[in-house]
Amino acid sequence: MKIGTARESYDRKPFLKIALTGASGAGKTDWAARSPRPLILLTEVQAFPSIVVANPEAVCVQIEKWQDFREAWAAITTGRPCEIETEAGEIQPALAVKLGGQEFTIQTVILDTMTDLQRLMFASMIGADAGRIDRLDFATASNNLSIDKHGILIAAAEEIFRQQRAIPCNTIFLTLSTQKEDETGARQTLPMLTGSKLPYAMGQYFNAAGLAQVRRTDNGGIQHVIRWVSPSAAAICKPGPGWPATITNSRTAGETTLGSLLRFTFPDLPVAACPTDSASFVTASASVAAEPIPVSFSAPAAQPVAVVSPSRPRRA
């Protein structure tokens, strides 16, 4: 039993746990990859071009099968808390993780995406990833779509959500979004996850839940934004304490990044952040239109991403 004041308990964990939902091309991966010293569990290889542009030294673990995730997740959840000293002389919390015969010093764990990870879970459950069945053989696959298996799938996702709360570093879980109508006919934007209740319950496992969108500015330009507060019940959003309703993903070093959110949320504590990260993001968000516009995503040509230790300074 742990007893203490709310402030004391809060200060012992200067990390942020964030869920971010959005359509493909809305800027989820780009924003997450610019977090301090990230380790990215990547189920969607098409995200590599965005990562290369945002942070070419990000450590990427390609998750092709459920067992790949199990091995990487075990390494992360048993990681050793440590500290690093930045070029600016800051002492920051970090996590030492042994993975693939190497040790990495990380500060943020990113899952890209939870939507696709559930697909890998299901493939493992029905034996598709081991080649025991043909996923295109509908007659065979339909025999494996039991209610019990769906229940196990949902329970496994909830357990991953629970476990990430205890990891002593920042976490960002990305999910694709889907549109759904409630009983009144109102449309909602929800995380694309298996389970009727899971998309609604996911937010309880995170400090904040955001919706990544592409919007048009007052002067006719295009902006990538993250909405932490929905003006209605049309999206699953949850802000951190004192955060603005919407921030601009400006792609400018130090602006509206995870490190910025950390510096704002824990102003008197050492946090995982880059020297350029600034808490001034609160006043940095530009005016945007009320409605999102269709995503038009043109990724740069893919380049090799080296798996390197982030113990070196990531950027000046």
pLDDT tens per residue across span 172-206:
999 999 988 777 777 888 899 988 888 888 889 99
3-state SS assignment for residue 243: coil
pLDDT for 37 equals 95
Residue 290 pLDDT level (bands cut at 50, 70, 90): very low
Residue 13 pLDDT level (bands cut at 50, 70, 90): confident
DSSP letter string, 22-46: E-TTSSHHHHHHTSSSEEEEES-GG
3-state SS assignment for residue 93: strand
CA atoms within 13 A on the CB side of 252: 11
In this structure, of 88-92, 156-160, 279-283, the range with the lowest mean pLDDT score is 279-283
Task: Decide if pLDDT at 301 tops 50.
Answer: no
Task: Decide if pLDDT at 162 tops 70.
Answer: yes
10, part of any domain? no
Residues 103-114, mean pLDDT to the nearest whole number: 96
Q: By residue range, what is the domain housing residue 238?
A: 15-292
25, part of any domain? yes
Tokens of 260: 């910025």
9, part of any domain? no
| Spatial separation of the C-alpha atoms in residues 181 and 193, rounded to whole Å | 15
8, part of any domain? no
Cα dihedral 41, 42, 48, 52 in deg (nearest 10):
-10
Stated pTM of the model:
0.82
Tokens of 172: 């960002």
Residue 27 pLDDT level (bands cut at 50, 70, 90): very high
Task: Decide if pLDDT at 59 tops 60.
Answer: yes
Residues 304-314, mean pLDDT to the nearest whole number: 39
State the DSSP H helix or E strand holding residue 297, giving kind and residue range, or none if neither.
none
Burial class of residue 141 (count of CB atoms within 10 Å of its CB; 0-12, 13-18, 19+):
middle
Residue 288 pLDDT level (bands cut at 50, 70, 90): very low
312, part of any domain? no
89, part of any domain? yes
303, part of any domain? no
Tokens of 16: 């942020």
**CATH number for the domain harbouring residue 205:** 3.40.50
pLDDT > 70 fraction of the chain, expressed in percent and rounded: 77
Cα–Cα separations (whole angstroms), residue 252 to 41, 224, 285: 24, 12, 12
Choose the most confident range, by mean pLDDT, from 133-137, 189-193, 251-255, 287-291. 189-193
Task: Decide if pLDDT at 134 tops 80.
Answer: no
273, part of any domain? yes
Total domains in the fold of the chain:
1
With tokens 């976490």, the residue in question is 171
Task: Decide if pLDDT at 136 tops 60.
Answer: no
Residue 38 pLDDT level (bands cut at 50, 70, 90): very high
pLDDT for 2 equals 61
Residues 123-145, mean pLDDT to the nearest whole number: 60
Q: List, in sequence order, every beta strand (DSSP E) within 136-192.
A: 170-181, 187-191
In contact, 112 and 31? CB cutoff 8 Å: no
Task: Decide if pLDDT at 84 tops 70.
Answer: yes
- What is the identity of the amino acid at 212? A
| Span 229-268, pLDDT tens digits | 886 666 789 998 888 888 888 777 777 789 999 999 998 8
Q: List, in sequence order, every beta strand (DSSP E) within 144-253.
A: 170-181, 187-191, 208-217, 222-227, 246-248
Question: What is the length of the chain?
Answer: 316
Give the pairing of strands 170-181 and 108-112: parallel
Best CA proximity match to 242, nearest among 213, 262, 224: 262
| Spatial separation of the C-alpha atoms in residues 143 and 31, rounded to whole Å | 40
| Spatial separation of the C-alpha atoms in residues 239 and 229, rounded to whole Å | 6
